[in-house]
Amino acid sequence: MRATPFTLAPGAWLSATIRPFSAALQLRRRRVEAEEEQLRRIVTALEAVAAAARQLTIELRSSEDDAGVSLTTAVELQALDRFRAAAARRLREYEAQSETIRRDLAKQQQRLIAARRDEELLLKLKAKARAQWQLAADRELQDIADEAYLSQ
């Protein structure tokens, strides 16, 4: 005799059919959450680099404005020139870091999309398994009702 929804203990067939999906779905949800958290970290890092670059640009403009307003000596102009060179190097470093972080961000977005797709597929499989269970339960119930009717 094959196992059907009514030949097993109440709820056992559904539980045996759906429970593996629930455990796997829980793992997929945790993966999505972990990927989202990693994405947030990468975005935060990108924002920090952008903020540092903006701050350096503000400092550079401020020092250039101060030099243009006040009477400056040759030593001050040399210091300003060295600061400009150092700021330009740091801005290039920030740009390189931003590029690296943007590449990481694109990769992480792809991982997040894949994790969400896996979760959605599992949800669809779970719904399909539940629909199959419901169909088998309805058939079994109909068979029992038919037998009861014919036995009268």
Per-residue model confidence as pLDDT tens digits over 22-57? 888 899 999 999 999 999 999 999 999 999 999 999
Short-list 137, 148, 123, 149, CA closest to 24: 123
Q: Does residue 76 or residue 138 have the better pLDDT?
A: 138
52-70 pLDDT, tens digit each = 999 999 998 888 777 666 6
Share of the chain above pLDDT 90, in %: 50
Q: What is residue 133's predicted lDDT score, i.e. its pLDDT?
A: 83
Asked if 5 and 137 touch (Cβ cutoff 8 Å), the reply is yes
Is it the case that residue 99 has pLDDT exceeding 90?
yes
By C-alpha distance, which of 107, 95, 100, 104 is closest to 50?
95
Backbone angles phi, psi at 77, to 5 degrees: -65, -40
CB 112 within 8 A of CB 32: yes
Note the residue count of the chain: 152
The reported pTM is 0.72
Query: What distance, in Å, lies between the first and last C-alpha atoms of the chain?
Result: 25
3 state SS of 3? coil
